[in-house]
Amino acid sequence: MMPEMLWKLLEITIIIALLIPMAAMLVWVERRVIGIWQDRHGPNRVGPFGILQSLADLLKILGKEDWIPPFSDRLVFILAPIIGAICVLMSFAVVPFSPDIGVSDLNIGLLFFLAMASLAVYSVVLAGWASNSKYALLGGMRAAAQTVSYEVFMGLSVMGVVLLTGTFNLREIVLAQSEGWLIQSQFVGFFIFLVAGIAESHRLPFDLPEAETELTAGFHTEYSGLKFALFFLGEYLGVTLISAMSVVLFFGGWLMPEPLSAWLPPLVWFIIKIMCFVMFFILLRTSLPRPRFDQLLKFGWMVMLPLALLNLIVTALLRLTGVL
């Protein structure tokens, strides 16, 4: 019992120790890729190819004064970014990285992920409210409306996967795709999940809670130093998490077709798939304009909700008739 517990603690430590530097590395990757995409240099001064720019930015952020506004609610102001970072890191506990690597093999792993995504909204709402600033409060209210709305469609989009696999266990969902990835039969569900994931992680074009052109920096306007770094960490880990869940639910996790599976270990295939999605997130940022907030909510309730319900009904009917 004790060796198994020690192994799990070691596994948790390794995963966290890799995820946090990965978030910093994604900042550099994003800047380089956007630079190439927009025909400019990107970071190229600090270290070879600017690879140490993220480290320099981290040192700069940590070196800044960790100021707490005197007009804020001090305790809630401090707790808000911690809640966001913890919720994202907790979500990785149920992600199966390979047949042997994964912190927890919960029977309700998918529900746990959705629960953590729901709790993460408290971070931005409390940050906006505790800051006692109009800009931060508006950003927090936008984040609450956006997240609560798109959570509905995210939950409905994965119900087709549950119907076809008969389980909420993420490892079993991956193994159920050994005969074929679910993207083939659940393309509509995947599209809805991906759009909802972009909205949940507040990435462009759905970064309205942080719209710098309207709200300075949205819900984290009053934050600086380590607390701002925690929000930054949560955003980039959220991108990685949505990418990982997309791979697990619709693209076979660590599985690859037989000729390719022997070329690389399962963990490497899983990481390659995640990086493909991360690149998509980055290129999406350079390609699409930001919609108005009312357009965002209207698109969710008028388009995404009927589409999610239709996908669920059609999947259920095809499952009952034996087509799927």
Within-domain flag for 195: yes
Within-domain flag for 82: yes
DSSP 304: I
Within-domain flag for 16: no
Within-domain flag for 45: no
Cβ contacts of residue 53 below 8 Å, gap of 6+? 28, 31, 43, 45, 46, 47
What is the rounded CA–CA span in Å between residue 238 and residue 232?
A: 10
- Structure confidence by residue, pLDDT tens digits, 85-136: 888 888 988 999 888 887 788 888 899 999 988 888 888 888 888 888 888 8
- Structure confidence by residue, pLDDT tens digits, 277-322: 999 988 888 888 888 888 888 888 899 999 999 999 999 999 888 7
What is the rounded CA–CA span in Å between residue 74 and residue 68?
A: 7
Instruction: Tell me the three state secondary structure of residue 123.
Output: helix
DSSP 274: H
Extract the tokens encoding 50: 């600017």
pLDDT tier at 2, thresholds 50, 70, 90: low
Within-domain flag for 28: no
Within-domain flag for 13: no
Full domain range(s) for residue 272: 69-320
Within-domain flag for 252: yes
| pTM for this model (two decimals) | 0.90
Domain count, the chain: 1
Tell me if 202 sits within 8 A of 241, measured CB to CB: no
What is the rounded CA–CA span in Å between residue 158 and residue 23?
A: 26
Task: Calculate the alpha carbon distances from 283 to 29, 203, 244 in Å.
Answer: 11, 11, 17
Q: How deeply is 316 buried, as exposed, middle or buried, from its count of CB atoms within 10 A (0-12, 13-18, 19+)?
A: middle
